[in-house]
Amino acid sequence: MADYKPNEMMTIAAARGLKNDDVCFVGIGQPSAACNVARLTHAPDITLIYESGTLATKPNVLPLSIGDGELCETALTTVSVPEMFRYWLQGGRIKVGFLGGAQIDKYANLNTTVVGPYDKPKVRLPGGGGAPEIATSCGEIFIIMAQGKRGFVDKLDFVTSIGHVTGGDSRQKLGVKTKGPTRLITDLALFEPDPETKEMIVTSMHPGVTREQIQENTGWQVRFAAKVAETQPPTQQELEVLRELYARTARAHAEAA
């Protein structure tokens, strides 16, 4: 078995959830890493779309932001941001939205706005950007986040992007017809929504992780599926692809500095 870090397990587990025929709206950071690992391994024909309007982009290195020239240079085409949102995203043409966040609750609602009170926050975060629209307009949502009590909270300081709102059919009652979060990938486990309550429950634990560890790093009482699987560890090929992607990115950014 190859040696790997928890963060690598998280990224690779997230990448495995994507399919070759997916059309995926990609967030910057961990979502971008996971989507590009998928493209470079088992899903070479996946269509990656970034918020800046780049369609079917195939970056050689990970972009620093949605405005990184690497995305436009390697895209099939680039459209305007209004077209991206009105026609592609809100038109229901994107299957998977891949997001991260600073805080998440048990119904997979996300906060990327502030930590602490809105008027006097401890930390002011980058904000929603396109995430609120992605969360409601993509067919389904994958979320990737490192797990810890600072981020996995019982109550969000601010709801930037809705997940399953307050559970049950509360998302549908708001008039949102898409599935919402179907998968939450962390450095400890995989979560999926309970079919009825829509609370995110553990369905797979990464190798060597215990239920106690998962609970210790979560701000709510964690529920586990009746049958919890063990996540397959990364293969040597997956690790090599991920590490080389990060190495190329580091070299490219060092040369540009």
Residues annotated catalytic, as ranges? 51
**Measured torsion, CA atoms of residues 111, 115, 116, 121, in degrees rounded to the nearest 10:** -120
Please say whether the beta carbons of 41 and 243 come within 8 A.
Answer: no
Residue 8 carries which DSSP code?
A: H
Element (H, E) at 248: helix 236-256
The residue with tokens 């949502």 is: 141
**Both tokens assigned to 55:** 């369609």
6 three-class SS: helix
Closest C-alpha among 92, 104, 81 to residue 140: 92
